[in-house]
Structure 1
Amino acid sequence: MLEISNLNAGYGEVTVLRNFSCRIETGQVTALMGRNGMGKTTLMKSIMGLIPVKSGTIHLNGIQINGKETYKISRAGIGYVPQGREVFEQFTVAENLRLAALGSSLSNLDRLPQIHDWFPILKERHDQKAGTFSGGQQQVLAIARALMTGPEILLLDEPTEGIQPNIVHEISLQLARIARETGLTILVVEQNVDMVRTMADHILFMENGQLADQCSAEELRSDETLIHRYLSI
């Protein structure tokens, strides 16, 4: 379980997260939604130690992780796919995946057959340079690369940005399958309502750096009031 309590964080003198608190339950897919500029990406970067936490705490399975170096947070069991994917474009698919394993543990190379089962295109094109992939294919590779480290929790920041709707749906279904089969916990920052409906168990709504509301997936499917309140312009 990931537990965030009274978190304040930001950039320099600017505070973006203001006493933000939430719990990400083990084995669930949780979506974090809200308009642009509400602090969603800042939260993800704070969890990963990429920006300093001014006050408050972040605990993973009861152990405080804020204040640790990013690589230690990753090795504690958190995988991260940032906005923009950031695959190594000059490297092949196989090299991207091997680098993820080498950066965590050589034993994670044993995960490659499972990765290929989940994402067959990566096996088919293992010698192709990542930079020649479409945006959707690069996103698949970025997700697979994070899964190569065997995380307990996967953080996804705007994974559907710039991707065709049919690819978005495929990624949503596959992530839901992975979570269901493995018990992987997923926290996804997303504004694509269709993706959230497809894969999420629980939805958090963020506004002005704070947790403003939350609901179950069932509630979201039957009543879009919160969608209109926190995503409409």
Structure 2
Amino acid sequence: MILSLKNIVYTHKKNKVTVLDDVTVDFSPGKVYGILGKSGVGKTTLLALIAGMDTVDSGAIFFKNQNLENINRDKYRQQEIGTVFQQYNVLPNETAMTTLKLCTLNSCTQGIDRLYEALKKVGINQKMANQKIKKLSVANQQRVYLAKAIINNPELILMDDPVESLNELSLKMVMEYIRIYAKNENKCIIICSQSKAIAEHVDELWGLNGGKLSFIKDNIEKGKL
């Protein structure tokens, strides 16, 4: 297991609502996990806790058998995980190339060819790589966000509703890339979404409701992937 959540509980500080209640789950490398849930059930909170952006009230989160409480969180976020949150933290007036350059400055030196190759892997050609992000289609913007998330070769990738603005064809293309990437690079990818459209594109599907995380189905067992 690369990531384990053990009996975690989290209550919002302001409204005192417990959004995660005794959640226990293990995540393995080489697999894509989908977590379904309606708006407000705690999906973003769950990813924020895994990303080390907040702390649990009780229970523990382990990354490679180390408690997040004992890990250097800045280093963890820079080197071990990649994130695609709803507020994507990109500059729409910048190009995809500039975006990748900015997010690699503090971790490792990337050659120009290396950045182009990262974008090419997600379906962004050289012409699109040098256009302003806001000029790209929604599907291609999603591909840029993906490239940003994986550019530093993280072990764990967290995605918060990355598919809600994609049409069926674009969704299939983006999710197919995610699935192949997880398998070929032995990475763990966790996708939280309101959309049931992700159900057939993940290895394991879970549901979050009423603070509880429940297993729904395993597509590998059904031979769908």
TM-score using structure 1 length: 0.84
For residues 180-227 of structure 1, what are the alpha-carbon distances to aligned partners after superposition, in whole Å with 9 as ceiling and x for unaligned? 2211111111233333312x11111211121133321156799xxxxx
> Paired residue for 2:27?
24
- Distance in structure 2 (CA, Å) of the matches to 1:142 and 1:156: 10
Letter of the structure 1 residue corresponding to residue 207 of structure 2: F
- 2:89 counterpart of 1:86: yes
Contact 2:34 2:198 in 1 (8 A): no
Listed as ranges, the gaps of 5+ residues in structure 1 are 223-233
- 2:13 counterpart of 1:8: no
Matches within 5 A, 1:23-102: 23-66=26-69, 70-102=73-105
1:66 deviation in Å?
A: 4.1
Contact 2:97 2:115 in 1 (8 A): no
CA RMSD of aligned residues (A): 2.4
- Distance in structure 1 (CA, Å) of the matches to 2:12 and 2:210: 15
User: Kindly tell me: are residues 120 and 74 of structure 1, through their superposed partners in 2, closer, same or farther at Cα, counting changes over 3 Å?
Assistant: same
State the number of aligned residues: 221
1:173 deviation in Å?
A: 1.1
Higher share of residues assigned helix: 1
Listed as ranges, the gaps of 5+ residues in structure 2 are none
Letter of the structure 1 residue corresponding to residue 219 of structure 2: A
% identical aligned pairs = 25
User: Kindly tell me: are residues 154 and 190 of structure 1, through their superposed partners in 2, closer, same or farther at Cα, counting changes over 3 Å?
Assistant: same
TM-score using structure 2 length: 0.87
User: Kindly tell me: are residues 120 and 206 of structure 1, through their superposed partners in 2, closer, same or farther at Cα, counting changes over 3 Å?
Assistant: closer
Moved over 6 A (4+): 219-222
